[in-house]
Amino acid sequence: MRLTNELLEQMPLDELKNFKTPEYDRVKVKEKTLREPTWLQLGAGNIFRAFLATHQQQLLNQGMEDTGIIVAEGYDYEIVDILKTYDELTINVLLHSDGSVEKEIVGSIVDYLKMDRNSQDFDRLKEIFRAPSLQMVSLTITEKGYSLSNSAKAYFPSVLSDFTNGPDKAESYLGKLVALMHERFLANATPLALVSMDNMSHNGEKLQTAVLTYAEKWLENDLVSPEFVDYLKEKVTFPWSMIDKITPRPDVTVQHLFEEAGLEAMSPCETEKHSFVAPYVNGEETEYLVIEDLFPNGRPKLEKTGIQFTDRGTVNKVETMKVTTCLNPLHTCLAIFGCLLDYHSIHSEMKDNELRELVKILGYHEGLPVVVDPVILDPKQFLDEVIEKRLPNIFIPDTPQRIATDTSQKLAVRFGETVKAYISSDDLNVNELKVIPLVFAGWLRYLTGINDFGEPFKVSPDPLLEELNLSVGFEFGAEAIDPTLLSLLSDKKIFGVDLVSVGLSDKVISLYQAMGTEVGAIRQTIRNVINEKN
């Protein structure tokens, strides 16, 4: 048996008893969605399929919505080719901390399209954007998807090319999105919400800045009218959001559950662009989504499924709490030192008393003193749940190697904001920080590609790897400091602050040198920091 529409139509109910299944007519939902699309999602990744698609299914099951979601993938087209072979069906697997497993066949996605300008899919996307019924376009394209320039603030070549060529020939991811918005403007200029649901602070603001940059450059080059820029500023909204759910790569142990149930072709695939995709997604039971309620053309009734809609200030407080103190910094800390100490799961790291103590100091002692209470979520309770329940969950097969991806794009927000808060505080001293400088030094040590046992390891993908290139010439015990490293510490785009000017660079360099003296020095440095803090 293969996960297809035929399975749902012909598989006996007793064989599907261990699966939740769609409680609506998928054929009718698909027909209505293709005729009157309301929700387009950009990015076919795990967080969308394991979270957003399941909430829309709840609304469909309850008869509160009658349209599904159309998904467009703009980075890895191979994902579309794979997922379409399963008739757009996905199995969502909730891995509860008590060991129980909950499986649901999700059918709320009605189509997958490629944002390939040379395909018929792109013509279909133009039709969708022209549709007055379209209420929102959500995005989960990762943090780096919003960057238009490199660390030197120079626009990427593809972005510069789009500025010159205009909406009819735009080829970059966001360039195509703005080009499609131009189609909507020309057709009817109907309002629309563009909603970033990526895991980063001020995500709506970052998306708005990128979109307006394209439009204003095109206006400068006389490629669009002033009215188009006015349309984006006056009738298009960019709600901020905070999303939180751990959805690691498809796990083979979950695959075996399906194979035991008689399902075929469930193996995860790695695409040429190194995306891991399967007809199922696995994730933790805990999930949060808080969205600024700013939808000028309507929206799904997602508040009925537990998603919270509020004002921008509250979203910002929740996001800041999570990203800068209560979750993301802990994740990045475990990712860096997990790779350096040769761990391959987050939950196993939480059994390491020293790493566990390290993230507790990071969260409770360095983060909570500067957190802003968002009221709708209690920071201490959130942090307690992260440390005691979520990170140690042995049924979440998340890896430090996955989380270490694109770390250069994450440090500024996940740690730099806390450093800034210490600098501006009348009661706190930035020199009291111990673990955050250790994380910065640990990342530099990580970039050498040599672990604490003297063995080489594969550094996770990062847009600045070639530029940083600290792996060249690394030797244990070397006293000289690479000039590249010294200049790097002043880079506000990476660290959020100039570590030299705020007085933390010497501490970071000292810790970096300590971790490079000999085999085992990373572990010993961690112990020293813990002992110093305690």
Look at residue 13 in the predicted model and tell me its pLDDT: 52
CA–CA dist 279, 2 (Å, integer): 10
Which of helix, strand or coil describes residue 258? helix
Tens-binned pLDDT, residue by residue, of the chain (534 aa): 889 998 888 765 555 668 899 999 999 999 999 999 999 999 999 999 999 999 999 999 999 999 999 999 999 999 999 999 999 999 999 988 777 889 999 999 999 999 999 999 999 999 999 999 999 999 999 888 999 998 788 999 999 999 999 999 999 999 999 999 999 999 999 999 999 999 888 999 999 999 999 999 999 999 999 999 999 999 999 999 999 998 888 888 888 888 888 888 999 999 999 888 999 999 888 899 999 999 999 999 999 999 999 999 999 999 889 989 999 999 999 999 999 999 999 999 999 999 999 999 999 999 999 998 999 999 999 999 999 989 998 877 789 999 999 999 999 999 999 999 999 999 999 999 999 999 999 999 999 999 999 999 999 999 888 877 765 567 888 777 777 777 889 999 999 999 999 999 999 999 999 999 999 999 999 999 999 876
As beta bridge partners, residue 236 has: 192
Contact 412, 486 (CB under 8 A): no
Count other Cβ atoms within 10 Å, centred on residue 34.
Answer: 17
Kindly write down the DSSP assignment for every residue of 34-78, as one continuous string. Answer: HHS--EEEE---HHIIIIIHHHHHHHHHTTS----EEEEESS-HH
Contact 411, 496 (CB under 8 A): yes
Backbone phi, psi, residue 478, to 5° = -65, 130
Flag whether the pTM goes above 0.75: yes
Count other Cβ atoms within 10 Å, centred on residue 47.
Answer: 21
CA–CA dist 68, 410 (Å, integer): 33
CB-side neighbour CA atoms (13 Å) of 530: 14
What DSSP element (H or E) covers 424?
Answer: helix 417-424
Contact 72, 111 (CB under 8 A): no
Look at residue 224 in the predicted model and tell me its pLDDT: 98
Contact 297, 330 (CB under 8 A): no
Look at residue 471 in the predicted model and tell me its pLDDT: 59
196-305-258 Cα angle (round to 5): 90
The pair of three-digit structure tokens given for residue 266, joined into one six-digit string: 């469930």
Count other Cβ atoms within 10 Å, centred on residue 301.
Answer: 13
Look at residue 26 in the predicted model and tell me its pLDDT: 95
Count other Cβ atoms within 10 Å, centred on residue 64.
Answer: 14
Look at residue 470 in the predicted model and tell me its pLDDT: 65
Contact 222, 266 (CB under 8 A): no
Conformational region of residue 195, where left means phi above 0, alpha means psi within -120 to 50, and beta covers everything else: beta
What DSSP element (H or E) covers 533?
Answer: helix 521-533
Look at residue 253 in the predicted model and tell me its pLDDT: 82
CA–CA dist 332, 401 (Å, integer): 10
Backbone phi, psi, residue 310, to 5° = -155, -165
Q: Is the dihedral of CA 491, 496, 501, 502 positive or negative?
A: negative
CA–CA dist 131, 134 (Å, integer): 6
Residue type, 201: S
Look at residue 341 in the predicted model and tell me its pLDDT: 98
